[in-house]
Amino acid sequence: MAKRKILSLLAMLLTVALLGSACSNAGDDAEAVAEDAVPTADTAAADLRSGFTALLGEHVYLAALATGSALRGDTAGFNAWAAALNGPTDSNSADIVAAVRSAYGDEVGDAFDGLWRSEDHINAFVAYTQAAAEDDTAGKDAAVARLTSYAKTFGETMNQVNDNLPAAAVEEGIVAHATTLIAVIDAQKAGNQSAVYNNLRRAYHHMDEFAATLAGATVAKFPDEFEGNPTDAASDLRAGMTSLLQEHVLLAASATGAALGGRQSQFDAAAFSLNGPAASNTADLVGAIGSVYGSEVGTAFDGLWRSEGHIPGFVAYTQAVAADDDAAKDEAVADLVAYAKTFGETMNQVNENLPAAAVEEAITGHATTLIAVIDAQKAKDAAGAATALREAAHHMSGTANVLAEATIRKFPEKF
């Protein structure tokens, strides 16, 4: 069961509390068999998929934050995001390596560390960014060639480690990763913020597919170590909610950072990608809820998620911070706290498997961690903002797990 600890952030006590009642009556063998037959996303395989989903998506977003900072001449920002992305410890790369090591062992973990951090991966994106900044076409082409070569090496190496990962398919996935992230960098260089966020969302969600592939192949290689199916409908739901809820935090922080930095066009684009009426993170979340709970609940959730106490509450807090208005900050916090209570009560009415107090606590945690990001952004503490953002994003993995499991329990026939 040590494999279930692949990401400590996913070992949420809240999930244990929710599942406790479901297991309390499994006293005899017949009841235990019946309990086992109930679909669930609380398995080692689903943990693995959700964990890879969160980390690979974060990899893309941190890379884009680093390149964006570099292209606008923000050296402190670039250094902070680069450290959060690829530092030796307490970084996205360190966590990805730890996840692979946990599943495959130390020898493969060490080899993967060298492969992931090789000069032709993250450093090649840096080289492309530097060449783009200088309008150096030859330099850009050289960086693309390095990334293309890396994709082939990565595919061949991963196939050697796990023959359930076809080399050509993995290579294609890494090429797509490079292509989508390069599109973000090109848009950043052009100052086209709408294109930046459209491409960033595409690059981010491309990694959802790669996470599913990697998790599926890993479970196929080690079936005795990972109970459950990483690609069944229950795991799909959990991974999808993980991706969308994490993206909600990342886009919100991008919008507040742009606002506090006086970058209006970036704020507008980030805010639209976060909460626009269509083709946005909120629209996708509403669509995910509606697809399971039905259109009536989906419409109600839309109104709840977009209510004045939620995203506008964070905007109000950001505006108050910018103006050094403590009274307005307190009012915004009060609105967010009230929203957490309303959200918890409403979700409990929709699904009795979601305890109102537990949901309220989760949303309060969301508000608290995102406020910490905004405070660091206001203080121009780039390293603090990067650390706080990773904490806020990872908090949503637990929330996604709880929401997915409660949904599966309410609609077991759909999973």
65 shares its domain with 131: yes
Report the alpha-carbon distance of residue 113 to residue 9 in Å, rounded: 21
87 shares its domain with 179: yes
Residue 393 within a domain = yes
Residue 25 has pLDDT above 70, yes or no: no
Strands (E) located in 41-116:
none
Residue 225 has, within 13 A of its CA and on its CB side, a CA count of 18
Could you tell me the two tokens for 82? Answer: 């680069």
Report the alpha-carbon distance of residue 45 to residue 260 in Å, rounded: 41
Report the alpha-carbon distance of residue 317 to residue 256 in Å, rounded: 9
Report the alpha-carbon distance of residue 238 to residue 247 in Å, rounded: 14
**DSSP 8-state assignment for residue 228:** S
Q: pLDDT-derived band of residue 38, with 50, 70 and 90 as boundaries?
A: confident
Q: Nearest-5° angle of CA 291, CA 295, CA 301?
A: 90
Arithmetic mean of pLDDT, 242-249: 98
Arithmetic mean of pLDDT, 292-316: 97
Could you tell me the two tokens for 238? Answer: 């959990």
pLDDT for position 33: 38
Report the alpha-carbon distance of residue 48 to residue 155 in Å, rounded: 20
Report the alpha-carbon distance of residue 404 to residue 158 in Å, rounded: 30
170 shares its domain with 244: no
Of 165, 199, 220, the position where a domain reaches its end is 220
Q: pLDDT-derived band of residue 36, with 50, 70 and 90 as boundaries?
A: low
Q: Work out the burial of residue 35: count CB atoms within 10 Å of its CB; fewer than 13 is exposed, 13-18 middle, 19 or more buried.
A: middle
358 shares its domain with 258: yes
Residue 295 has pLDDT above 90, yes or no: yes
Domain count, the chain: 2
169 shares its domain with 195: yes
211 shares its domain with 237: no
289 shares its domain with 206: no
Q: Is 7 left (phi over 0), alpha (psi -120 to 50) or beta?
A: beta
Residue 98 within a domain = yes
Range of the domain at 62: 42-220
Residue 4 within a domain = no
240 shares its domain with 352: yes
Q: Model-level pTM? A: 0.91
Could you tell me the two tokens for 340? Answer: 């957490």
Residue 203 within a domain = yes
144 shares its domain with 236: no
Instruction: Please give the single-letter amino acid code of residue 105.
Output: G
pLDDT digits (tens, 9 = 90+) for 183-239: 999 999 999 999 999 999 999 999 999 999 999 999 999 999 999 999 999 999 999
Of 191, 220, 249, the position where a domain reaches its end is 220
Residue 415 within a domain = yes
Residue 226 within a domain = no
Report the alpha-carbon distance of residue 331 to residue 319 in Å, rounded: 12
183 shares its domain with 289: no
Could you tell me the two tokens for 189? Answer: 């260089």
**DSSP 8-state assignment for residue 355:** -
102 shares its domain with 212: yes
Q: Which residue has the tokens 């090591």?
A: 101
pLDDT digits (tens, 9 = 90+) for 145-188: 999 999 999 999 999 999 999 999 999 999 999 999 999 999 99
pLDDT digits (tens, 9 = 90+) for 340-388: 999 999 999 999 999 999 999 999 999 999 999 999 999 999 999 999 9
Of 198, 220, 242, the position where a domain reaches its end is 220
Nearest to 41 by CA among 53, 32, 31, 33: 53
Arithmetic mean of pLDDT, 127-133: 98
pLDDT digits (tens, 9 = 90+) for 67-88: 999 999 999 999 999 999 999 9
How many helices (H) and strands (E) in the chain? 18, 0
Q: pLDDT-derived band of residue 7, with 50, 70 and 90 as boundaries?
A: very low
**Which one is predicted more confidently, 281 or 18?**
281
357 shares its domain with 210: no
- For the chain, the average pLDDT equals 92
Could you tell me the two tokens for 79? Answer: 């250094």
Report the alpha-carbon distance of residue 124 to residue 132 in Å, rounded: 12
Q: Which of 18-22, 45-49, 392-396 has the lowest mean pLDDT?
A: 18-22
Residue 254 within a domain = yes
Could you tell me the two tokens for 38? Answer: 């109930």
Q: Which residue has the tokens 């292509």?
A: 179
Nearest to 8 by CA among 114, 121, 98: 98
Residue 7 within a domain = no
